[in-house]
Amino acid sequence: MRATIIHAPGDIRVEDRDYPTVQLPTDAVVKVTASCVCGSDLWPYRGVRPTRRPTAIGHEFIGTVESIGSGIIGLAVGDLVIAPFVISCGACPQCLNGVTVACDHLAGWGGKDDTGLSVDGGQGQAVRVPLADSTLVKVPGITEPDDALRKSLLTLSDVMATGHHAALAAKAGPGRTVVVVGDGAVGLCGVLAAKRLGAERIIAMSRHADRQAIAREFGATDIVAERGDDGVARVRELLGGVLADSVLECVGTKESMDQALNCTRPGGALGFVGVPTGGSEVPLRYLFDTNISIGGGMAPARTYIPELLADVLDGTINPGRVFDVVMPLEEAAEAYRAMDERRAIKVLLTP
Ligand SMILES: [Zn+2]
Ligand SMILES: [Zn+2]
């Protein structure tokens, strides 16, 4: 099969790999029908996170169950499934508390499972899925989604679940004013999630016309293109002299965290989901003085998918609009370039 391998920063290749097979009774093999490049894939691509050896990459995919181990009870060959961005057991205290990203048996795509067997990356033609019963979510009643549905289902792997996590942590809801920092796929999904939770006034911070258009479609009522102090001043002006009740930080740099914190009113809530990479720090004394609460972190996508899936299937939300480019898997290197250079919001790869 063909699979995407990162060799070094900027060096993405699509190569031949052995077709995966069931190794353990709790495995399933999934034939990937759509995968994609994530903003967080750009950290190793840019060398911000090291790549020590050639590594299979990609952690967002949907596909069809092709074979199952003898211990699988909840899945059948032919099922359409969504893979959350990490593997989880569903039975440990962390999973039972809904924090599947801290599972005692946690494993990642392209890494090793907790028995030491290697796991395929998501940007390939097929994947051996460990702990498949508890990791995968079956899409009920559908085996051949149309293009629009396929895109929306794929966002549940990560970006829509992550936007939802940010909105929950920021306590977005009816009567709350919301600011979203970051206009990547997660930020845009954060706008959609805030709207879905009932927020009426949603300010998206974005400088790109194409991203602003999707933000508006997803429920943003205002766009702020300014950054830094000018951006804070513009938010304050739009909200009648106060800052926002709920702020979603969807980037992960020091600048974006500072921007988010400076847009939050005293007593407000900040939800952060950008992978911290730029040296951002939490100013504890400022939080003490202002009573701002901070929450968030890595989104437990597996916990959120069933609830979000219901809204995707009945057409309430259409997060798949964040995919503005579709490319064949063979062009994965170009997909990374397009994302890195911000020519694409999010690229879907077809196997
Ligand atoms: Zn991702
Ligand atoms: Zn677990």
Domain boundary among 296, 311, 336: 296
> Distance between CA atoms of 8 and 24, rounded to whole angstroms?
31
Domain boundary among 296, 327, 342: 296
Residue 301 lies in a domain: no
pTM of the entire structure? 0.97
Query: In angstroms, what is the span from residue 158 Cα to ligand 1's centroid?
Result: 5
The tokens describing 325, both together, are: 């480019």
Pairing of strands 137-138, 325-328: unpaired
Q: Is the pLDDT of residue 162 over 90?
A: yes
- What is the domain-level CATH number for residue 196? 3.40.50.720
Give me the pLDDT at residue 281, please.
Answer: 81
> Distance between CA atoms of 45 and 212, rounded to whole angstroms?
26
Please indicate, yes or no, whether residues 100 and 175 belong to a single structural domain of this protein: no
Please indicate, yes or no, whether residues 126 and 190 belong to a single structural domain of this protein: no
Q: Is the pLDDT of residue 278 over 80?
A: no
Residue 310 lies in a domain: no
Q: Is the pLDDT of residue 275 over 90?
A: no
Please indicate, yes or no, whether residues 189 and 261 belong to a single structural domain of this protein: yes
Are 350 and 36 a contacting pair, CB within 8 Å?
no
Among 163-172, 226-235, 269-278, 324-333, the range scoring the smallest mean pLDDT is 269-278
Residue 40 lies in a domain: yes
Query: In angstroms, what is the span from residue 39 Cα to ligand 1's centroid?
Result: 6
Query: In angstroms, what is the span from residue 110 Cα to ligand 1's centroid?
Result: 13
Please indicate, yes or no, whether residues 234 and 326 belong to a single structural domain of this protein: no
Among 145-154, 271-280, 282-291, the range scoring the smallest mean pLDDT is 271-280
Please indicate, yes or no, whether residues 181 and 55 belong to a single structural domain of this protein: no
Q: Which residues of 188-211 are buried (b: 16+ CB within 10 A; e: fewer)?
A: bbbbbbbbbbebebbbbbbeeeeb
Percent of the chain at pLDDT above 90? 96
Judged by its nearest atom, the ligand closest to the C-alpha of residue 35 is 1
Please indicate, yes or no, whether residues 60 and 109 belong to a single structural domain of this protein: yes
Residue 35 lies in a domain: yes
- Which residue range(s) make up the domain with 42? 2-157+319-350
Residue 95 lies in a domain: yes
Residue 311 lies in a domain: no
Helix (H) or strand (E) holding 269: strand 264-272
Please indicate, yes or no, whether residues 40 and 135 belong to a single structural domain of this protein: yes
Please indicate, yes or no, whether residues 227 and 332 belong to a single structural domain of this protein: no
120-130: pLDDT as tens digits: 999 999 999 99
Q: Total structural domains in the chain?
A: 2
Residue 276 lies in a domain: yes
- What is the domain-level CATH number for residue 53? 3.90.180.10
Please indicate, yes or no, whether residues 116 and 214 belong to a single structural domain of this protein: no
Please indicate, yes or no, whether residues 185 and 121 belong to a single structural domain of this protein: no
Give me the pLDDT at residue 32, please.
Answer: 98
Residue 339 lies in a domain: yes
Please indicate, yes or no, whether residues 146 and 163 belong to a single structural domain of this protein: no
Query: In angstroms, what is the span from residue 107 Cα to ligand 2's centroid?
Result: 10
Across the range 6-35, mean pLDDT stands at 98
Judged by its nearest atom, the ligand closest to the C-alpha of residue 36 is 1
Judged by its nearest atom, the ligand closest to the C-alpha of residue 274 is 1
Using pLDDT thresholds of 50, 70 and 90, give the confidence band for residue 71.
very high
Please indicate, yes or no, whether residues 133 and 208 belong to a single structural domain of this protein: no
Are 138 and 81 a contacting pair, CB within 8 Å?
yes
